[in-house]
Amino acid sequence: MAIAVQADPNDIKELKEMFQALDKDGNGSISFEELEIGLGDRENAAQLLELLQSADTDGSGTINYSEFLAATMDAQMFQRESYLKTAFQMFDADGSGQIDSNELLQLLAGDDFRNLYTQEQLDAAIAEVDDDGNGEIDFNEFMVMMRNAAR
């Protein structure tokens, strides 16, 4: 999501058009009913529907534009170092060059994610990618994590 919200409009023009076509009622989000109708009887419709349902990160039962972009962005775009650097800086609230669990908790404290993750879950998520074991994620660890996620 951090990369999707700051993507160059030229890079996501086709995705924006696709989102608008699926958003039949024009309310800025796509219901799963709209998705089923929009995907129709495509060969891979069930797989696409499952992918997009998993993009509903805030559990609202609909997919907003940012969630849609995050789920459908091309892996090459997703891996651009400039996008990754900006996304990293969004998480690194104190500008220390490291992301710690408190910064993640602050970022996830908004209405969309409130109460979805415990401190223990955030610590475990950091530990998964914290190669040097210091309890924080530096930019190199962040890049490795994001590139692995895009595969």
| Predicted confidence band of residue 98 (pLDDT cuts 50, 70, 90) | very high
CB 128 within 8 A of CB 148: no
- The answer on 131 and 85 residing in a single domain is yes
> Which domain does 92 fall in, by range?
77-149
Last residue of one domain, picked from the residues 73, 90, 119: 73
Same domain, 64 and 81: no
The pLDDT value given to residue 149: 72
Count the domains in the chain. Answer: 2
More confidently predicted of 117 and 85: 85
125-139: burial string, b at 16+ Cβ within 10 Å, e else: ebeebbeeeeebbbb
18/62 same-domain check:
yes
Of 46, 73, 100, the residue at which a domain comes to its end is 73
User: Residue 44's pLDDT band (boundaries 50, 70, 90)?
Assistant: confident
Say yes or no: 60 and 10 in one domain: yes
- The last residue of a domain, from among 42, 73, 104: 73
Give mean pLDDT, residues 81-110: 85
Domain identity same for 14 and 59: yes
Res 56: pLDDT: 81
Give the side-chain half-sphere CA count within 13 A for 4: 15
More confident residue, 28 or 109: 28
What's the gap between Cα 103 and its chain centre?
A: 17
pLDDT for residue 110: 64
Looking at residue 139, its pLDDT comes to 94
- Asked whether residue 10 falls in the same domain as residue 64, the answer is yes
CATH code of the domain in which 64 resides = 1.10.238.10
pLDDT band at 11 (very low <50, low <70, confident <90, very high): confident
Q: What percent of the chain has pLDDT over 70?
A: 87
pLDDT tier at 128, thresholds 50, 70, 90: very high
